């Protein structure tokens, strides 16, 4: 398949992620984290752990000879974040960056200040014509439970910086996801033409809570991660979470329905976002 026919641009990554490229890797660093094997013909094969980060810069790819390639920190880098290996493209990097996922048989273009989640198995990364083979694998001694990969829908390759921040927030505070799933129940209920959030009291009853604090905290923190402030964007939040697949139909199973009239999650169909989103 030709590159131009299969290329899909990744969404822009927010400044916080780009700034963190030069820092230490985040996410799990124990034995359960998947390893990344890097095979570049001009260098010995190298295995990275979650604590490592490798810059695919001018020095690594060409020994400093290819002036088309960027230097660190503008160059793309391989790093581990939130239980997933990512190819993070830098800012002001002129060389095209392409990932060919062998398991999917598809090729994806990663734009400047964008991140691409590397799938399990083998992929080929091309930076300015220099090809690097990478392999994501779980060590034999690792736990059978592997952290869930951060992925978007098939048509959205790579997550925006705001979406990555929300995903990491949900990882740290999983109850936020459950509370918002309860609050936005109507968005996952078939037949509701104009869904709207449940009232605060109903959300509290569905979650079995004694106050509205958990809902307010979840709304404020998630909105802040996306738009940088806790007010003024709540009406845009459900459509943004659905569009970025940060909240999906299966999340209705997280809601216990302890003190409400609901006995189980409703019959579910894929939701349709109704617009809205963060300012780029």
Q: Can you tell me the distance from the alpha carbon of 80 to that of 215, in angstroms, rounded to the nearest whole number?
A: 31
In the predicted structure, residue 104 carries a pLDDT above the cut 90: no
> Do both 102 and 210 map to the same domain?
no
> Do both 12 and 141 map to the same domain?
yes
Cβ-contact 83, 149 below 8 angstroms: yes
Give the burial string for 160-190 (b: 16+ CB within 10 Å, else e).
bbbbbbbbbbbbebeebbbbbbbbbbbbbbe
> Rounded mean pLDDT of the chain?
76
> Do both 27 and 121 map to the same domain?
yes
Residue 248 counted as domain residue: yes
Q: Higher confidence at residue 88 or residue 276?
A: 88
* CA 104 centroid distance within chain: 18
Residue 139 counted as domain residue: yes
> Do both 47 and 78 map to the same domain?
yes
> Do both 179 and 224 map to the same domain?
yes
- The residue-averaged pLDDT of 221-232 equals 89
In the predicted structure, residue 277 carries a pLDDT above the cut 70: no
In the predicted structure, residue 97 carries a pLDDT above the cut 60: yes
> Do both 9 and 135 map to the same domain?
yes
Place of tokens 């940060």: 246
| pLDDT value, residue 204 | 92
> Do both 22 and 91 map to the same domain?
yes
> Do both 182 and 243 map to the same domain?
yes
Residue 259 counted as domain residue: no
Q: Which of 90, 117, 149 is the last residue of a domain?
A: 149
Residue 100 counted as domain residue: yes
Residue 177 counted as domain residue: yes
> Do both 184 and 116 map to the same domain?
no
Q: Higher confidence at residue 32 or residue 255?
A: 255
In the predicted structure, residue 12 carries a pLDDT above the cut 80: no
Q: What is the pLDDT of residues 194-225, one digit of tens each?
A: 899 999 999 999 999 889 999 999 999 999 98
> Do both 21 and 132 map to the same domain?
yes
- Give residue 29's pLDDT band: very low, low, confident or very high (50, 70, 90): very low
Residue 275 counted as domain residue: no
Q: Which of 122, 44, 39, 57 is nearest to 85 (CA)?
A: 122
Q: What is the pLDDT of residues 156-179, one digit of tens each?
A: 344 567 888 898 899 889 999 999
- The residue-averaged pLDDT of 102-125 equals 84
Q: What is the pLDDT of residues 137-158, one digit of tens each?
A: 876 654 444 444 444 433 334 4
Task: Specify the CATH number for the domain of residue 82.
Answer: 2.60.200.20
- Give residue 20's pLDDT band: very low, low, confident or very high (50, 70, 90): very low
- Give residue 43's pLDDT band: very low, low, confident or very high (50, 70, 90): confident
Residue 266 counted as domain residue: no
Q: Roughly how many angstroms between the first and final C-alpha of the chain, as a whole number?
A: 32
| pLDDT value, residue 81 | 87
Domain total in the chain = 2
Residue 220 counted as domain residue: yes
* Ranges 111-115, 251-255, 267-271: which has the least confidence: 267-271
| Percent of the chain at pLDDT exceeding 70 | 73
In the predicted structure, residue 8 carries a pLDDT above the cut 70: no
Which range of residues forms the domain containing residue 35?
3-149
Q: Which of 140, 247, 233, 229 is nearest to 188 (CA)?
A: 247
> Do both 127 and 190 map to the same domain?
no
- Give residue 121's pLDDT band: very low, low, confident or very high (50, 70, 90): confident
> Do both 91 and 36 map to the same domain?
yes
């Amino acid at each position: 398949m030709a590159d131009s026919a299969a290329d899909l641009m990744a969404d822009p990554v927010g400044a916080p992620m780009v700034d963190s490229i030069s820092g230490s890797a985040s996410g799990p660093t124990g034995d359960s984290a998947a390893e990344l094997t890097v095979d570049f013909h001009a260098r010995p094969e190298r295995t990275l752990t979650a604590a490592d980060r490798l810059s695919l810069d001018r020095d690594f790819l060409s020994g400093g000879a290819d002036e088309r390639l960027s230097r660190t920190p503008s160059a793309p880098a391989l790093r581990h974040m939130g239980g997933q290996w990512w190819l993070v493209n830098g800012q002001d990097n002129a060389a095209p960056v392409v990932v060919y996922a062998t398991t999917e048989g598809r090729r994806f273009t990663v734009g400047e200040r964008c991140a691409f989640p590397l799938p399990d198995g083998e992929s080929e990364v091309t930076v300015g014509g220099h090809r690097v083979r990478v392999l994501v694998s779980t060590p034999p001694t690792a736990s059978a439970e592997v952290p869930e990969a951060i992925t978007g829908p098939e048509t959205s390759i790579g997550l925006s910086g705001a979406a990555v921040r929300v995903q990491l927030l949900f990882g740290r505070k999983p109850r936020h996801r459950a509370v918002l799933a309860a609050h936005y129940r109507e968005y996952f209920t078939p037949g509701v033409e104009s869904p709207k959030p449940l009232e605060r009291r109903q959300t509290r009853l569905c979650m079995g809570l004694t106050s509205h604090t958990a809902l307010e905290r979840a709304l404020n923190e998630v909105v802040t991660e996306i738009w940088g402030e806790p007010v003024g964007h709540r009406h845009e939040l459900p459509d943004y979470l659905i569009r970025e697949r940060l909240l999906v139909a299966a999340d209705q199973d997280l809601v216990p329905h302890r003190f409400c009239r609901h006995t189980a999650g409703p019959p579910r169909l894929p939701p349709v976002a109704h617009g809205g989103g963060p300012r780029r």
